[in-house]
Amino acid sequence: MLNSFLGSQSQSAWYTSVAKKMGISILPPSVNKSQVRFSTEGEKKIRIGLTAVKNVGESAVQKLVVDREVNGPFSSFGDFLRRSEALEINKKMIESLILSSSMDEFGIPRSQMLGATEPYLNRLSSTKRQSMEGQISIFSLLGDEKAAEADEPVLPNVSEFSLEERLTKEKEMLGLYISGHPLDDYKKAMATANTDSTSFLKTLGEDMGTGRVLADKEQVTMAGLISSRNQKTTKNGKTMCFLQIEDLFSDYEVIVFPDAYGRCGSVINSSKALLIRGHVQVEDEAVKLILEDCVTLSRDDEELCQLPPPRNSGYGRRPRTDGAYGGSQAFGSSEAAGRSGTDGASDMARSAGTEVPLKDSSSGKEDAGAKNTPRLAIRYFGNADDEGYKRLLATCSYFHGVVPVYVALPKEKRNVKLSPEYSIEWSRDVCEILVKEFGIENVSLF
């Protein structure tokens, strides 16, 4: 499947993200291990092919693979450069391979490999030219015929690129990140905010593996890094803006009309990452997001950011079952508590299988650690030892994340907090699965 999208970095990036969620490891490109295209490498491992690297042609990679099979793997950075000319691998290709992480196995900082490439290639060309002109190599004068082959490039004394610089170049060369992700520091905040992902903002008619297409004008909550801002002035002299936002899966465009820009312009221009509420616009078979509100997306170690209440924009949205818009209450509400026969999810046990109230019975104060932590409450009308409960645990384990899970067991007249191994990844997909299994009135984020 990945090989079908070698010409599309965004689609390749999406499918690699899907593969990771399925427990399949995505191995980085390697001049010694990669094939021409994506290939399997052991059980549940996929190696990125070298033709996935920008500026690297298929013909050159085919010759590289053949040379590797005949002459063995590249033993060093210098060995690769010495053999590259015969393989029709030019300087631009070499630089792209370096920046894409394809030569990290040589153990040399990318900045040094990049700085050493051109001088060494010039040196090789000069040596070849002298040889063709019949000049005697200095190595021959020294009586060391093999010294030239053993010679390695002189590495410049420069600092390695920062992680941010490495990630930026990886994305440019591959369409995806290898050394990490710029949003790694925001994952918990995004899960807490119950954000949708670009897996749903796709071109109409394309199967991107989600099984779901958003309806036109449907309201969503998104998050991501701002990769570009493009301000425009309307005929009325007002300012609007086009944003390119990147989340953990891919990129998407956000249109900020003048009214929204008037409210959010300062946040947009001063933030690196945004939490966005908007509605979907389907136009010319493309899906875009029209911004209604936004706030700066907080890092995981910062105080949680919150969007203002939804405005009456006139645009519809599918009912949310997570309580994010106040549509579904946590089990602590009087209505829910009456149905469950408990004091609500806020009184569920904090230890797995035990009843440790979140509120102190004498003071009525909520546990300080739980005050600002989003939690998932599920009401289950069976017993903790039946098959349905096992399926509940299996679902939480499969969609493992950072949101703690509490289970109300009315039949046993007790509430439990599941252990951290059952903390869940809260997303719209997971929400729909739980609602289908347990009913909309029995699933709530609080």
Strand 25-27, strand 45-47: pairing: parallel
pLDDT greater at residue 146 or residue 241? 241
How confident is the model at residue 287, as a pLDDT? 79
Task: Tell me the pLDDT tens digit for each residue of 214-265.
Answer: 667 788 888 999 999 999 999 889 999 999 999 887 788 999 999 999 999 9
Q: Which residues of 8-20 are buried (b: 16+ CB within 10 A; e: fewer)?
A: ebbbbbbbbbbbe
* Beta strands per DSSP E along 188-285: 219-233, 239-246, 251-256, 273-283
| Tens-digit pLDDT profile for residues 318-328 | 333 333 322 33
Domain residue ranges in the chain: 2-174, 184-296, 334-445
Q: Indicate the fold that domain 184-296 takes in CATH.
A: OB fold (Dihydrolipoamide Acetyltransferase, E2P) (2.40.50)
Q: Does domain 2-174 have CATH number 1.10.3470?
A: no
Residue-wise pLDDT tens digits, 343-389: 333 333 333 344 434 333 333 344 444 445 678 899 999 888 888 88
Report if pTM > 0.85.
Answer: no
Residue 212 has pLDDT above 60, yes or no: no
> CA-CA distance, 195 to 178, in Å (whole number)?
24
Q: What is the pLDDT of residue 331?
A: 37
Element of type H or E holding 188: helix 187-192
Whether the predicted pLDDT of 270 surpasses 50 = yes
In the prediction, which pLDDT does 6 show?
52
Kindly report the length of the chain.
Answer: 446
Q: Of the spans 163-167, 384-388, 441-445, which averages the highest pLDDT?
A: 163-167
Half-sphere CA count of 434, side-chain side, radius 13 A: 33
Which one is predicted more confidently, 250 or 212? 250
Res 286: pLDDT = 72
Of the two residues 278 and 337, the one the predictor is more confident about is 278
Residue with tokens 């710029």: 182
Among left, alpha and beta (phi > 0; psi -120 to 50; other), residue 389 is alpha
In the prediction, which pLDDT does 93 show? Answer: 97
